[in-house]
Amino acid sequence: MRVTLDGIARSKGRYRGTAIIDESYTDADFQRMHDGGIRGVRFNFVRHLGGRPDMGFFRRTVDRVKAIGWHLILHLDAVDLPELSDTLKQVPVPMVIDHMGRVKAADGLDQPPFKVLLEWMKDDRFWVKVCGAERVSSIGPPFTDAVPFARKLLAAAPDRVLWGTDWPHPNVGRHMPNDGDLVDLFAQMAPDRALEKKILVDNPARLYGF
């Protein structure tokens, strides 16, 4: 995490960061990251990127995250949402679900994974990023079929929604997105200026402790 910590330090308090860790990280490492502006740990469950982490390691990390007042960022496949629902409901820290849970737009708003995600959003521990439209879309650029999913999530929990660029779009599928198009798409997801401010400013400030 040296590069991230250096970037945060150079920002003079304007940035926060999240970490990807392994079993080697000690309590001293966590404190060093916290002092440097890290506020969360990201876990990848996506199959084409290696699949689920060791769940014992996951649970031990949750304990550390809880002790230091951080949150988790969870990168999941859509099929993971129903399968992991009972497990994640037991996690006692805030969790940010990345890329709208990678649901498939072609499967519609009534698909079981998206229903699970909406159910999670009734719980104050769950947050969601309405980003990664290119990962949700089934029709390709400009990925407008992802917009209804974002709007549903915003309606469900406007105080626990974040947005992100996902730049430089690692492991992207068939279509490398145009970043300007993604910014324009956000305006369709949140057409109200007060809602835009909540997602882009107020919500992340609260979660990351600015």
3-class DSSP state for residue 163? coil
Q: What is the pTM of this model?
A: 0.96
CATH class (in words) of the domain with range 76-208: alpha beta
Of the candidates 63, 166, 179, 192, the residue annotated as catalytic is 166
How many residues does the structure list for the chain? 210
Delimit the domains of the chain by residue range: 76-208
What is the arrangement of strands in the sheet containing 161-162, beginning at the earlier edge strand? 17-19, 38-44, 71-75, 95-97, 126-129, 161-162
pLDDT tens, the chain, 210 aa long: 999 999 999 999 899 999 999 999 999 999 999 999 999 999 999 988 888 999 999 999 999 999 999 999 999 999 999 999 999 999 999 999 999 999 999 999 999 999 999 999 999 999 999 999 999 999 999 999 999 999 999 999 999 999 999 999 988 878 899 999 999 999 999 999 999 999 999 999 999 999
Asked if 166 is an active-site residue, the reply is yes
